[in-house]
Amino acid sequence: MNNPCGRPSPPYRLSPDQLRSADVPSPVKMVGTLPVEHWNLGIGPINCHSWNKDRTQLAVSASSNEIYIFQWSGQWKQTHVLAEHDLPITGIDWAPESNRIVSCSQDKNAFVWTFENGTWKPALVLVRISKAATSVKWSPRENKFAVGSGSKLVSVCYYEKENDWWVAKQIKKPIRSTVTCIDWHPNNVLIGVGACDFKARVYSAYVKEVDDKPGPNPWGTRLPFGNLLAELPSLGWVHNVSFSPSGLRLAWVAHDSSLSMVDANVNIDDISTLRTKFLPFNAVKWVSENSIIAAGHDCSPMLFNIINGKLQFSCKLDIPSENKSSNVNSAFQKFRNFDRNAVNETVNVQLKTLHQNAITQILTHSGRSDNVQKFTTCGIDGLIALWDLKGTIDYCARREESLNGSLDEVDS
């Protein structure tokens, strides 16, 4: 049987979950806790967040109609509250170069916020939707952004200088349900779309008013606005989509706890799908051309790798350290007493992960798109966590080596 990081482990008499909960001691010295910076901003459940260019400011939404801007000065200090929306915020994105924030909400509106004279000034966008907006994201060149909605469409918005406002063109067919997520291709033209109709799709979002004429690419050669280039089936409604750094691959996570990937440079019809044993993922992000981070209701980021064109689970990035005060004999005694003595134990509702509720979003923090060094997660527990990718992977490896050593002792 394989352990959680994909390496073979020796036979054992107790299940891995039983061994972990029994606090089997590790034979090597390990750090007491995961080296993860995290902050509780005190604003309640966080469904989305976004960083400015130098990562000194943070915009978050606490499932309300307000956007909070925090400034780092040894600790996070709230500097602004943006309260133009009427209903809960569903999406925020901070453009690094232009320093503009775009937001969308259940009130069917989107605003572009510009920082002038010490205040954030909103500009209303003509999104032209009749139901709640669900997600929003700037294009790589920051000359347009896309808004997903419950109106079964995607609004691609751009600035019209003649009339001094933001207008939208809409992608509709053949979407048959709520658009849940969007992601831009690195070429600034293609867009990935996930929806509740069990499909992930790739469209052309070429807007001749602001874009240079695109050339052919592995996803397709005809690129007029709204042209459907790929329609990819899923076994559950799609929670999140993400293009790889090269733009050749698209990954998506669905409500059936699956992670899927397709490579346009090989065969768009050849979909690699990994059905996992975990709870559904809410977010997915490429951290290199061959590595993916996914997170959701299991409250821990998880690393997946592409090996020979197929998805493989690598490890959880949030695994609690062992308690050194117990011993193997006491672990066996604990399970032996369950039936013999009808032992009653106090139920501990504290999870063994850093996040105590579902993770809702993953964002790159530092490093290149093809070599992410750090990333952040936010969750319904109100935490923002900063993960050092290399550090957490090394930690997982040390822990699994330690656990394998403990299993060897148990088996002997």
In sequence order, what are the beta bridge partners of 286?
A: 292
Mean pLDDT is lowest, of 11-25, 285-299, 393-407, for: 11-25
Q: Is 238:232 a contact under the CB 8 Å cutoff?
A: no
**Above 90 in pLDDT, residue 411?**
no
Predicted TM-score of the model (pTM): 0.83
**Above 90 in pLDDT, residue 333?**
no
C-alpha span between 62 and 196 (Å, rounded) = 24
In the chain, helix, strand, coil percent, each to 5?
A: 10, 45, 45
**Above 80 in pLDDT, residue 4?**
no
- Strand ordering across the sheet containing 249-254: 238-243, 249-254, 258-263, 267-275
Supply the pLDDT for residue 153: 97
Supply the pLDDT for residue 12: 30
Mean pLDDT of 337-364: 77
Supply the pLDDT for residue 328: 41
Q: Tens of pLDDT along 380-395?
A: 999 999 999 887 776 6
User: If pLDDT is split at 50, 70 and 90, which confidence band does 164 have?
Assistant: confident
User: If pLDDT is split at 50, 70 and 90, which confidence band does 344 have?
Assistant: low
Mean pLDDT of 398-406: 59
Mean pLDDT is lowest, of 28-32, 119-123, 209-213, 292-296, for: 28-32
Domain ranges of the chain: 44-318+351-407
Q: Is 362:375 a contact under the CB 8 Å cutoff?
A: yes
Q: Is 255:236 a contact under the CB 8 Å cutoff?
A: yes
Supply the pLDDT for residue 155: 98
User: If pLDDT is split at 50, 70 and 90, which confidence band does 323 have?
Assistant: very low
In the three-class reduction of DSSP (H, G, I as helix; E, B as strand; rest coil), residue 207 is classed as coil
Q: Is 277:257 a contact under the CB 8 Å cutoff?
A: yes
The pair of structure tokens assigned to 46 is: 């966080």
Nearest to 142 by CA among 205, 188, 187, 111: 188
**Above 80 in pLDDT, residue 250?**
yes
| Residues 6+ away with beta carbon under 8 Å from 118 | none
Supply the pLDDT for residue 21: 36
Nearest to 146 by CA among 193, 199, 99: 193
C-alpha span between 128 and 150 (Å, rounded) = 12
- The class that CATH gives domain 44-318+351-407 is mainly beta
Percent of the residues in the chain that have a pLDDT greater than 70, as a whole number? 79
**Above 50 in pLDDT, residue 298?**
yes
Supply the pLDDT for residue 350: 83
C-alpha span between 116 and 124 (Å, rounded) = 16
Q: Is 392:36 a contact under the CB 8 Å cutoff?
A: yes
Residues 164, 209, 159, CA angle at the centre, nearest 5°? Answer: 25
Concatenating the DSSP letter of every residue in 222-254 gives ---TT-EEEEEE-SS-EEEEEE-TTSSEEEEEE
**360, burial (CB in 10 Å: exposed 0-12, middle 13-18, buried 19+):** buried
